[in-house]
Amino acid sequence: CNQSLHRYLSRNFEEETTHPFLLSPFLSGLCKVNKHHLLLLVLGGLWDMPLVIISGFPSSGKTRRTLEIKNYFESEKSKKVTVVSENELLVGKNEIFSDSKQEKEIRGTLKGDAIRLLNKDDIVILDAGNYIKGFRYELYCASKQIKTTQCLVQCVAPIEQAWTWNQMRPENERYTREVFDGLVMRYETPNSKDAPPCDPMHDALYLCKPPPPNQSTQTQPLSSTNFLFELDRTTQDVTSCIMSAQRTLVPGDSIKVPGVEESISLGRKVTLAEVTRARRQFISYTKMHPVEDTSKLMSLFIRYLNSTLG
């Protein structure tokens, strides 16, 4: 666990050491803090981490921890830190959290603002309840898409302690008991299985690379209009050639396609539905992996048909 950050927080926020919280990377681990010792774990290469997700019960100290982390990285590590906070949007918080539509709109705004600020150098802290696992996973995928790391900071406080802190706020900033209890009930706690020892987790996350993007998080390559036109025209020509040739040829005969050396050898008579399905699959794959020379499209499609339908 990072001692410099621990010393900084102990020195500057000693009065807050009775306020526990957890810090973890999403689906990677939790590091507990108790009332006797303030322990903060820097995870996932936080020196260049773009996204820190704050999470916890209402009035559990999320904004306080956000400011501590922000101050540390700005003063101790000279990092640029931007905070995206729900506090700026929750005008009439009790009305908002009593209306699922308004709450969803707030979540969408926070997510959009955070994602727009993401990059590989600056730190973005999302200060909000973030109580839905699915929402946290969407943020994880967003950071994964730009090939960088992120972590989840869970502020942990007993429910009644959080309620006591809520009652200490100015009256216009308090949650009603009904709204407070509703948010606590809906909170989806990170899984306990995501809690390995701190030291191995620290070593593993400092040495490992961010998760590589996969097809679900990677932006599809942009294809030119001409390429898409040639792809559609070429595959349609081959399809028409097959269906026309099958009217006169004996099943098993090779089908010659004008303009290419390869011939179609399917060994049987195929239906239009089979060829159309194979054509759609080939087009989908080729859009993701376009070829520079469009003159090769017909040969590639014929080979694909021979291997798929032959």
Vertex 206: Cα angle to 47 and 75 (nearest 5): 20
Residue in this structure with the two tokens 């407070």, named with its chain if needed: 180
User: How sure is the predictor about 73, in pLDDT bands with cuts at 50, 70 and 90?
Assistant: confident
Vertex 108: Cα angle to 105 and 114 (nearest 5): 140
C-alpha 173, offset from chain centre:
31
User: How sure is the predictor about 218, in pLDDT bands with cuts at 50, 70 and 90?
Assistant: low
Q: How far apart are CA 205 and CA 196, in angstroms?
A: 12
Note whether 159 and 187 are within 8 A (CB).
Answer: no
Q: How far apart are CA 129 and CA 140, in angstroms?
A: 16
Residues in CB range of 70: below 8 A, 6 or more apart: 81, 83, 125
Backbone angles phi, psi at 233, to 5 degrees: -65, -45
Residues in CB range of 229: below 8 A, 6 or more apart: none
Q: How far apart are CA 172 and CA 259, in angstroms?
A: 77
DSSP-derived secondary structure letter, 220: P
Average pLDDT, the chain: 77
Domains along the sequence of the chain with CATH:
3-207 (3.40.50.300), 225-309 (no CATH)
How much is the pTM? 0.53
Mean pLDDT to the nearest integer, 101-122 = 87
**Alpha helices for 146-263 (secondary structure H):** 159-167, 177-186, 198-207, 225-245
Burial of 54 (0-12, 13-18, 19+ CB in 10 A): buried
**What are 61's two structure tokens?**
């100290």
The pLDDT, as a whole number, for residue 7 is 47
Burial of 215 (0-12, 13-18, 19+ CB in 10 A): exposed
Backbone angles phi, psi at 88, to 5 degrees: -75, -15
The pLDDT, as a whole number, for residue 168 is 94
Output 204 or 39, whichever has higher pLDDT: 204
Least confident of 100-114, 233-247, 251-265: 251-265
Note whether 274 and 265 are within 8 A (CB).
Answer: no
Residue in this structure with the two tokens 């997700």, named with its chain if needed: 53
Residue in this structure with the two tokens 């969803």, named with its chain if needed: 104
- Give yes or no for residue 225 having a pLDDT over 60: yes
Which residues pair with residue 54 across a beta bridge? 127, 153
- Give yes or no for residue 9 having a pLDDT over 70: no
Note whether 308 and 286 are within 8 A (CB).
Answer: no
The pLDDT, as a whole number, for residue 169 is 92
Residues in CB range of 112: below 8 A, 6 or more apart: none
To the nearest 10°, the Cα dihedral for 290, 295, 300, 302? 140
What is the per-residue pLDDT across 39-60, written as a single tens digit (0 to 9) for each? 333 333 344 457 889 999 999 9
